[in-house]
């Protein structure tokens, strides 16, 4: 149950193994928080928020391949960072081997001072030396504390460390688990020359799930949309079935529950919580919000407000700005801004957020944006108040495994124990791990020839010496 990425991943993986599954989703569209909707004001199909994947997201890429939609992802090897007064810095790997492939590009940034570059280089070297084993010892420390211990200046934090960590983990550097932040740099920027490459869906997010029903039905399963689960039937120490809002009861032998932790907590009875330790820790999780801002500016095709495919914002509240192209219906360019860890703005009225975003876009893009910012055609703010769990220090032991004491109840979700923080890759991994646990229990023995997860990108030999 649950038709977000974790539930889709589990169902598709099981379907590919020949298991007939029933995927139950509350909404009409699949995708959970990574989906699209029809905006009643404009009639446009809008993403809840722009979601980004990287080359290191091997399991998410595998899922897209299984669904036959991998060609709907556009990959960008060149990343654009907004500097001061319209300056744009570019990050792109060169022909040096990892972990040095980004060095020359970073040294060319005009918006980062020489002293800040030296500090960033020193910090990256420390992260490299930690290796995987070293980062596991950082789960009780915030990344802000780690940066302070490694003498990172405020400018380096603001223009480099913070913008990357906040956008990747949806949490502020002073609140996020240092181990997760270090993982972003180790696996996303240092270990492999292709890990940092950014993938953006070229279609609305909901279109990435067009083939889910076909894949599941081909294995004898079914997809139930607009089907809200009201409670579990818990009998003889096992989950016996589900009660739906329309009065139906669904019975099964095994249940994969891929719901947000707060939704799961509302469905679990006291006997279930008493039986399974995983269900006793659900109230330990807190949420971190994301705000997406869709903006349409008056422009022509040959004179857009922004010609770049994206822009990583290093000032203000926005972390990313995405170019969604020219909108024929609106007669202008569609830009999409993202504010992660948006604690201070999540209760702010939408019009104020739109005004703030326009001002920051004007500052980042310079002259062309100044002319266009006064000609805003339309704006739409989407708030995800519980977008991800807050991956703070000490939270890692609270994240549950796929299996627990209720032996036919398997958990999945980006908040579960995956070895990754709360990302689309983490959600996909959780689904794959739950599916592997189901297959082991169905077969009665672990199949050593089947790996639960797709292998990570191979670290360069230089990185292997550092334990990556």
pLDDT tens-place string over residues 204-255:
999 999 999 999 999 999 999 999 999 999 999 999 999 999 999 999 999 9
Higher pLDDT, 375 or 257: 257
Report the C-alpha gap between 54 and 58 in whole angstroms: 9
**pLDDT, position 370:** 45
In this model, does residue 347 exceed pLDDT 80? yes
Model confidence pLDDT, tens digit, residues 391-424: 999 999 999 999 999 999 999 999 999 999 989 9
Residues 6+ apart with CB under 8 A from 154: none
Q: How far apart are CA 45 and CA 288, in angstroms?
A: 25
Residue 444 has pLDDT above 80, yes or no: no
Q: Lay out the sheet containing 88-91: strands in order across.
A: 88-91, 79-82, 310-312, 320-327, 332-340, 287-298, 376-389
Q: How far apart are CA 356 and CA 225, in angstroms?
A: 37
DSSP-assigned states of every residue in 301-333:
TTB-S--SSEEE--SSS--EEEEEEEETTTTEE
Whether 163 has a pLDDT exceeding 50, the answer reads: yes
Q: Is 426 helix (H, G, I), strand (E, B) or coil?
A: helix
Give the mean pLDDT of the chain: 92
Q: What is the pLDDT of residue 449?
A: 55
Phi, psi of 93 (to 5 degrees): -65, 145
Q: In angstroms, what CA-CA distances link 446 with 401, 405, 411?
A: 17, 19, 18
**Overall average pLDDT of the 28-35 stretch:** 90
Q: Are 103 and 384 in contact (CB under 8 A)?
A: no
Residue written as token pair 């039905």: 217
Q: What is the pLDDT of residue 464?
A: 86
Instruction: Single out the residue of 208, 225, 201, 220 nearest to residue 3, CA to CA.
Output: 225
Would you say 262 and 8 are in contact if contact means Cβ atoms under 8 Å apart?
no
Residue 350's region, left for phi above 0, alpha for psi from -120 to 50, else beta, is: alpha
pLDDT value for 79: 96
Spatial distance between the Cα atoms of 211 and 346, rounded to a whole number of angstroms: 34
Given this model, what pLDDT does residue 300 score?
Answer: 82
Task: State pLDDT tens for residues 239-248.
Answer: 999 999 999 9
Q: How confident is the model at residue 446 (pLDDT cuts 50, 70, 90)?
A: low
Nearest to 310 by CA among 321, 297, 324: 321
Instruction: Give pLDDT, residue 41.
Output: 79
**CA separation for the pair 458, 296 (Å, rounded):** 41
The model's confidence at residue 303, banded by pLDDT at 50, 70 and 90, is confident
pLDDT band at 366; cut points 50, 70, 90: confident
Q: Is the bond leading into 99 cis (omega within 30 degrees of zero)? A: yes
Q: What is the pTM of this model?
A: 0.94
CA terminus-to-terminus distance, the chain: 35
pLDDT single digits (tens) 72-124: 999 999 999 998 778 899 999 999 999 999 999 999 999 999 999 999 999 99
- Tokens 């569609």 belong to 334
Apex 430 CA angle, 24 and 424, nearest 5: 90
234 conformational bin, left if phi > 0, alpha if psi -120 to 50, beta if neither: beta
Higher pLDDT, 389 or 373: 389
């Amino acid at each position: 149950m649950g038709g977000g990425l974790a539930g889709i991943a589990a169902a598709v993986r099981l379907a590919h193994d020949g298991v007939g599954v029933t995927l139950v989703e509350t909404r009409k569209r699949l995708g959970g928080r990574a989906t699209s909707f029809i905006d009643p004001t404009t009639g446009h199909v809008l993403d809840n928020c722009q979601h980004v994947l990287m080359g290191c997201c091997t399991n998410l890429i595998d899922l897209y391949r299984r669904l036959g939609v991998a060609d709907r992802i556009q990959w960008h090897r060149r990343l654009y960072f907004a500097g001061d007064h319209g300056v744009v810095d570019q990050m792109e790997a060169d022909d040096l081997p990892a972990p040095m492939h980004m060095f020359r590009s970073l040294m060319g940034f005009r918006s980062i001072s020489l002293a800040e570059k030296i500090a960033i280089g020193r910090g990256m070297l420390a992260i490299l030396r930690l290796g995987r084993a070293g980062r596991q010892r950082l789960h009780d420390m915030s990344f802000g504390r780690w940066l302070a211990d490694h003498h990172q200046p405020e400018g380096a934090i603001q223009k480099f460390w913070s913008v990357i960590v906040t956008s990747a983990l949806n949490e502020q550097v002073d609140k996020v688990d240092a181990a997760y932040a270090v993982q972003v740099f180790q696996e996303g920027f240092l270990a492999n020359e292709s890990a940092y490459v950014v993938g953006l869906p070229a279609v609305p997010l909901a279109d990435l799930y067009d083939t889910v029903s076909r894949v599941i039905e081909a294995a004898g399963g079914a997809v139930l949309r607009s089907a809200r689960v009201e409670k579990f039937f818990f009998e003889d120490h096992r989950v016996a079935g589900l009660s739906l809002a329309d009065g139906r009861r669904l019975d099964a032998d095994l249940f994969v529950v891929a719901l947000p932790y707060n939704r799961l907590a509302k469905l679990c009875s006291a006997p279930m919580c008493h039986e399974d330790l995983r269900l006793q820790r659900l109230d330990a999780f807190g949420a971190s919000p994301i705000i997406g801002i869709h903006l349409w500016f008056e422009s022509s095709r040959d004179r857009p407000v922004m010609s770049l495919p994206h822009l990583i914002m290093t000032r203000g509240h926005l972390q990313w700005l995405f170019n969604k192209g020219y909108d024929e219906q609106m007669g202008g360019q569609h830009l999409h801004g993202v504010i992660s860890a948006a604690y201070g703005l999540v209760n702010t009225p939408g019009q104020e957020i739109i005004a703030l975003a326009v001002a920051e876009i004007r500052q980042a893009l310079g002259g062309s944006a100044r002319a266009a910012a006064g000609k805003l055609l339309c704006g739409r703010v989407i708030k995800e108040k519980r977008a991800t769990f807050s991956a703070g220090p000490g939270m890692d032991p609270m994240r549950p495994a796929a299996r627990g004491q209720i032996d036919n109840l398997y958990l999945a979700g980006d908040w579960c124990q995956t070895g990754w923080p709360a990302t689309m890759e983490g959600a996909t991994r959780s689904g794959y791990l739950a599916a592997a646990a189901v297959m082991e229990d169905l077969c009665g023995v672990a199949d050593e020839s089947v790996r639960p997860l797709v292998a990570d990108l191979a670290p360069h030999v230089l990185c292997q010496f550092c334990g990556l």
